[in-house]
Each structure stands twice: as C-alpha cells, then as structure tokens.
Structure 1
Amino acid sequence: MTFKDLIGHQHGDDAVTSINRYNRSISKIVKTSNHLTFLLRCRDNNLVPRGFQLSSPVPRSPAINKILHNASTRIVKHQIQHLRRHKSHLHKDIETSRSHLQDTLESDLYHKTQSLAEKTKQHLHEKVKTTHITKFTQLQRPSTSNIPEADNNNTNLKTVINLSSKPLTPSQTSLLAKGLKYVPVAAKINTDAFITSIESGLQQLAPNGNVDYLRHQIIDTIKQAPKPRPNLTHQERQAITELKKDDSITITEADKGKAAVIMDTPEFLQLVNNSLSDTTTYLSIKKDPTARLERQHKKTLKDLHEKREINDIIFNQGKLFNVCFRRFAQCPNEATFLISMLAWFLFRFSTSVTQSKFEFALRPQG
C-alpha cells in the first residue's frame, strides 16, 4: 500500500486531493521562482531571452533592431511583474493547503507529507536551476556567423590569390576578400563639398535672395544626420594604407572569378611587356590614328545623314563616338571603360542603322 493509498484509506479522497493540490503548488512555485530569477538576471545584463525576441516583418536595419530590442525588453519587464504577482498568489495557496492538511492529518502523517514534498521540491529546484543557468550562459555568448572559421579561410583563399613573395596579414587578406570594387563608407559627411555641389541648384530654387536660408537649413539637416556606420574594421582601414604605400607589389583582378591577385611589381611588368611584344596580337604604330579615324567617322556619318539613310536621332548618337575617341587618346588609363562604351555605342548604332535602312527599303518610292 502506497502512502497516498494509506491517506485515502484513513481520511478519504478529499485528503488525497488536498495533498495533490499542495504538491502542484510546490512545483509551480519552484518553476516560477527560477524563471523569475532568470529574467531578473537577463534584465540586469541587458539580455533578451530567445522566447521574448521579436521578429521584424520588414528588412532589418540598426533603427529597427533598436526598436525591437526596446520592445522585447519591455515585455521582459512586464513578465517579471506578472511572475511576482503569480508567486505571491502561489504562496497564499501553499499556506492554505498546508493549514488544511495540518488540520486534517495526524501529526506523523503531516510531517511525512512535508518531508516528501521537500525532497520533491529540492530535486525539481536543482533540475530547473540547471536548465536556466544553461540558457543564460548561451545568451551571454557573442553571436557568431553560421559559417565556420575554416570555411571563411577557404573563401579567402579562393578570392585572394597571393603570387608575390610578400606574405599578407589577416587584415589585408580580409580586406582584399571583399573585392576590388568594394566601397568603404566615409568616416564623416563632407558638408562643404555637398553644399558646393548644390549651389547652382539653390540659385534656381531661390532666385529672390533666399539662398542663405536654404543653405542654413540644409547644413542643419546634415549636421543632425547620424554618423555613417563604418563597413570596415580599424585593422582593415590600416591595411588600405599599408597596401597603397607598398610599391613592391601590384594588386589586380583576375580575368575570371573576380579574385584579387597580388603579384610582385617587376614580375607583373614583365608579364605586361611579354604580352605587348606578341606581334600576332598587337601591332606597333608610328602615328596615333585617332584623328584619322575620327575624320572618317564624321564623313561616313554625314554621308548617311545627307542620304536620309539615318535620322537625326541616330546621327546625334553617332557623334558620341568622337567623344570616346578623344577621351581614349587623352586618358589611356580609362581604356577598359572607354572600350566598353564604344562597344555599347557601336551595338546601339548598328542596330539603329539596320532598322533605319530596313524602313527606308520598305518606304514606297516615287
């Protein structure tokens, strides 16, 4: 016969129900006390448990993250108040059940009931306490990327290829892994340059002398703007300065894969000279043919326009070739960009001329 069967046999089912209610209240107050302690520690350390972290229906930003964190913190504080009230009510229920059992049971049965309840309480307390300590320890750990460090190193090895004799620091490798077209955020907003660039627009917006008022309004707005958030670490910014000052290496982009390739400068120049010395690919010229090509282009364009084989729009578009020719002769460093522009203009121009000639052929004669 179990202890509850003995109680039921001597004092009836009501006494057993009272004991079960008393044990449930003990379990609830143990869980509530530990949960309250856990939330108080989270509040004091400015941590938000995962169950209280709110999600955003829109893309995250620093402002949205701050709003969500403040709202989650307020929910934690509200839950702390609720648990304190609930704990107070449980204490009253326990005292009521304890008084009822003391009046109902004999002294030895009552003390045995209290002894069993205390053992159960201690066992449950240690179990719940361990669970909450584990949860709190996990919250204190800094959030890390889902990609292991080894995978990050492998990624850097794929995007940064060092063929030079000089080893790169981890900061330099991390910087170059972002890509050669990566744009660092400026440390501060250049107010003077901004005002200078919109000065002509201000004259048009306020021709009657209200330019100073608009200028001051814009300056105040810029000064109140938040400081740009840096997208490079301090070590990576130092790596930019170090790489710019180092003339012994040359950094270029791979033909395929967009990887950053680091080579010794003498070796890089030797490769360039070897490529240019290939007479089957490159031809050495004695005179710059830019002026001659520009004259031929103008003459051909004018003849097509006079014969009405191209309209005014195509004629004006064709004139942009001359700009690219002159720019290419003056700034050879922009060869890649200018060649791309010439290819784009050539494609658009040839398509327009073909369409114009097709429409001319279908036009009824006579």
Structure 2
Amino acid sequence: MPSLKQTVSALYRELKEQTSQYNPPVQKTILNLAMATFGKTRFASHIKFISTCLHRLKFNANITHESSYLRRSSLALNQCSRKLMRSALSTMTDRKTHFDLQMRNLRSELTSQLSDTKHARHLIHMANSQLFQFISQIKTDRLKRLDSTGLVNQRKASAAHHKLVVTIPPNLALTEDERSVLSKGLNFVPLDYSPKEFDIRQDVDAFYRRLRLKYHFQDESPNDNSDPDPFENLQPKRSTWTPPPGENKIIDKVINRCRDELEPYLKSKATYKPNMSQNELSALKKLKANRDIIIKSADKGGAVVVWDSNLYTEEANRQLSDVSTYTKLNADPNPASQEAVSRKVKDLIKQKKLPASAKSRIHPCPQIANFYMLPKIHK
C-alpha cells in the first residue's frame, strides 16, 4: 500500500497531466489550489482521528499496575499523552484554517484568470475525493489496530491467561513450578525488581525525538519532477539527528512538562512487585539449563509443548528422510544464487530498468534457513 506522500505525489502528477492544456500561469494556480485542498483534507482527517481517539481510547504505559510506582508512572504518561493530543488538535486546527484562507485566495486568483472554472475545479474535486477515500481507509485501519492491541479495552491484558502444557512423551517429568512457568506462555516476560532509569530515559527521549521529527518534516511537499524511487523507503535510516528545540513552542512545553512529571518517579527507590514467585524463578532457570528437552509453541499457538530432545531429533530425521519432500544437497547453494542475483540486478541497473539504490537490497551474507518443527495438538 502506498504512503500518503506517494499518493499525494501521484495525484499531483495526474492533475498536472490533466491540466496541461491550460497556459503555465493558470496551470500553476490550479495545482496550487489542489495542494491547498489536499492540505485541508489531510488536516481535517487528522483532527477527526485524534478527536475520536480522545473520546474512545484508554491510554496505558504498557506496564502492569502492580505497584504504586507503576501506577504513578502510568498516570503521568496518560496525562502527557492527552495533553499532547490536545496540543496537536490546536496546531492542526490552525493549519486547517491556514489552508482555508489559502484556498479562498487561490479561487479568487483562478476566477480572475479563467472565465469558466468549472472544469478545473471538477478535476480538483475528483482528485481530492480519491485522497479523502485513501486517508479514511488509513484512519479506519489504524483505529482497528489500536482496538486489537488493547488500547481501548485493557481487560485482556490484566486477565490471567494460562496456556495448556503438553509433554512428549506424556510421562515426561515436570514439577508443578515448571508447569506453572510454562503455562504463562512463551511470550511472558518476568519483571525486574527495580526500574532501569537509563532504559526509561532512553525510551522517552526516543519518543521526544519522534515528536520533533514529525513536526519538522510535516510540510515536505511532493517532488513532481522525478519518479519516486521504490527502493528508497526500504533502505535503513541511519540518521540520529534530532531537530533542535524552538521550532514549536507547544511541543517544547509538552516535552518539558513530561520530563518534570516523570523525574520524581525516575529518582524514586521504588521497586516492582514481582510477577513470579521465587520457586517459579528457580524453575525457569532449571528449564533454561535443561538440554534434554525442547520447548516449542504448538502449531496454532494454543499450547506449550515440552518435547524430549531425543524424540524431537528422531522425528526431524524421519521427516527429512522423506525424499518425495526433501532433497539432500551436497553444498550450500547460497553463494551461487547470490552471485546470480547480484549479476542480474547490476545488469538491470546498467540498462536503467532499476534505480541504483536497488543494489542496496542485495544481502551481503545470505544464510540458510533453520529447520524446526511445531507439533500439532489435537483438541
């Protein structure tokens, strides 16, 4: 799915082709009016989305509320989130008003240049309708994702969810504490006993950086002079640059307020309430050190399977010996495949069928996939 920037660029180029019959000054006015209309539509959609979030979503810090320290930290982050969203609403409303004024001026200018503006305004309306449908779909999908991750309803996060523990063979010995640990699931994370101040500061600083970058690059206009590079967004971003304070007073104020409210909790000596007993922690270490078992998730993820390592190896050999499904190779095919792919990509770049940036997608050290098995547990 194309990004919003790519969609606006495509609509801009299409509109430029459709208005090529007009003289350059008139065409420029039409395109400027279209971009102002696109800007108003974009900010109106953002305002509606954030307003919906403020009314529907219940924010959380993605941490369990098992200590007063975590409750206070979560409350501070929730308050900062809501303040930031309200500040964003205010800023976006101002931007929408700016585009309204710009559209009125451009309409007047277009009327003075053309005796009949119906055709030009119809083209702008059709392009803007496509943009509105695209943005609406993005916002709808985003709300669904927020709902599914539990930001609207936290009951799933707080409810105890234990998985079935299955052993192969059935008489494989496990203690009650080991079964208790495994029933928590393979995605369960034990809590440390004390908050790590450095990690928390690193996370919130990364959040502040994203805020400043979003604002700094929000007004980037699409470049209609060149075709978009499909490999550009696939290249990893190595920059660590952060826009300096002072570009937006509201963002600066919110960041400073968040820092002030979080500081007392970061400096406190509070500790987490552990989410595992001492016996469970000991059982976890024992399971980790046990080389006689293989622990895997079931095929559909509804159970945790503890497999005797000898039986696991036997089953793997049995499956791999099926010559109708697997073929034994005498050598690693990756180097030859890598060379063929690299040669083909370079040839296509020389023929101007691929941009030079496509070379960056050639993996320098391809690896052979690992073979593993997920048991199927019948209900």
TM range (shorter): 0.3 to 0.5
More helix by share: 1
Which fold has the larger relative contact order, with Cα–Cα distance below 8 Å and residues 6 or more apart in sequence? Answer: 2
Q: State TM-score, norm by structure 2.
A: 0.37
